[in-house]
Amino acid sequence: MPRWLPRAMVIALALYACFQLGSWAFHQLVGLLINILISFFLALAIEPAVGRMAARGMRRGLATFLVFMGVLVAGAGFVVLLGSMLAGQIIEMVEDFPKYLDSVIRWINETFQTELSRVEVQDSLLNSDWLRKYVQNSATGVLDVSATVLGGLFKLLTIFLFSFYFAADGPRLRRALCSVLPPSRQTEVLRAWEIAVDKTGGYIYSRGLMALISGVAHYILLEALDVPYAPALAVWVGLVSQFIPTIGTYLAGALPMLIAFTVNPWYALWVLGFVVVYQQFENYVLQPKLTAKTVDIHPAVAFGSVVAGTALMGAVGALIAIPAIATLQAFLGAYVKRYDVTDDPRVHGRRAPRRGASLLTRLRRREPGQEPGQETRQESRPPQTPPSGDDHA
């Protein structure tokens, strides 16, 4: 046996054990890593506001706390408005359920010549086996729901805690990162950090402004149609339509259409038409002006990035996909060398001239009654000079 073989086997086994240990640790900590990634992007989003407040003499910790309090108040207000709307709609549906059931039973009796009654249907439903099993499963699943809610609150607290530290100690974190790099690399890292802050903050603020405009526009429409819960529906449309690209407007408009349908079926068509028209106005007029200096991403790239982010990291990937792609696009635009594009008709979407174009032009200019090849022969014949006096002699 060669002398190096045992040592090579030990090294290979040690590397395999380290790989397995690292893989196990990564899978155990993947939840924490995702929370830290969300916290980092959230800190980048509030960095411009915190930086401006700190530049005016306020401590970064207090500035970060005030910004977070504003975000929490806005989020709590949205949840309260939406929750009150949903609770009111559920109560109305429960109260009107007997009327809906009577209308369905009446239609069945008139169509199929039956003699059903609401009391018999209610008794059959209450005494059915599937309802008992559903109640039992719901009772046993209360603990699972409680554990899920507590886990979600713990994740939310973790995200806010890391985001607060990233935003409040941003300069210290950058100094710690640059202290382990040579001076030539420190400039590149700080430049990449600045690009990430600009693009992430610009994305959040531009989307927030467009969400405000969209919410006000839809609120005016819903209030004019006398649709209930107009403020909550307007906030819902504004947020969902802006933070879910391309199809967010249509997904957000489904809930106002449903509520408007309960008031008057024609109101649902009015809401649908307004959603379609406003989407075109936003795509071609509003969005290019607001995102020209912040985040300029093609709609297809934005939609593809959201789909890819959802496939990789779920809802979290959908939220951070566009800021990440915008940062990557800006970073590549700063470091990738670009060249002047050749002046070719195909670049502008036009066809290149074909080789036979000149021949077709000559055939069109041919005189009537002239043979097809006569013009070519005449053009190829050398010009004749007038005869001189020696020739006559």
Question: What does the pLDDT profile of the chain (393 residues) look like in tens digits?
Answer: 788 888 889 999 999 999 999 999 988 888 888 888 888 888 888 888 888 888 888 888 888 889 888 888 887 877 777 677 667 666 766 676 677 677 777 878 888 877 777 677 667 766 666 666 766 665 555 556 566 767 778 888 888 888 888 888 888 888 888 888 888 788 877 887 887 777 777 777 777 888 888 888 988 988 888 887 787 788 888 888 877 766 677 788 888 888 788 778 788 889 889 988 888 888 777 776 766 556 666 667 777 777 787 777 776 676 777 777 777 776 676 666 667 777 777 766 677 666 555 545 555 555 555 554 554 444 444 545 555 444 443
Distance, C-alpha 112 to centroid of its chain:
49
333: helix, strand or coil: helix
Residue type at 282 in one-letter notation: E
What global pTM score does this model have? Answer: 0.59
Count other Cβ atoms within 10 Å, centred on residue 214.
26
Contact criterion met (CB below 8 Å) for 305 and 320: no
Contact criterion met (CB below 8 Å) for 160 and 68: yes
For residues 262 and 198, is the Cβ–Cβ distance under 8 A?
Answer: no
Instruction: State how far the alpha carbon of 173 is from the alpha carbons of 130, 162, 170, 190, in Å.
Output: 57, 12, 5, 11
State the CB neighbour count (10 A cutoff) for residue 38.
20
- The CA R_g of the chain, rounded to the nearest whole Å, is 35
Contact (CB, 8 A) for 251 and 237 = no
C-alpha torsion angle, residues 8, 12, 18, 23 (rounded to 10)? 160
- Residue 305 C-alpha from the chain's centroid: 7
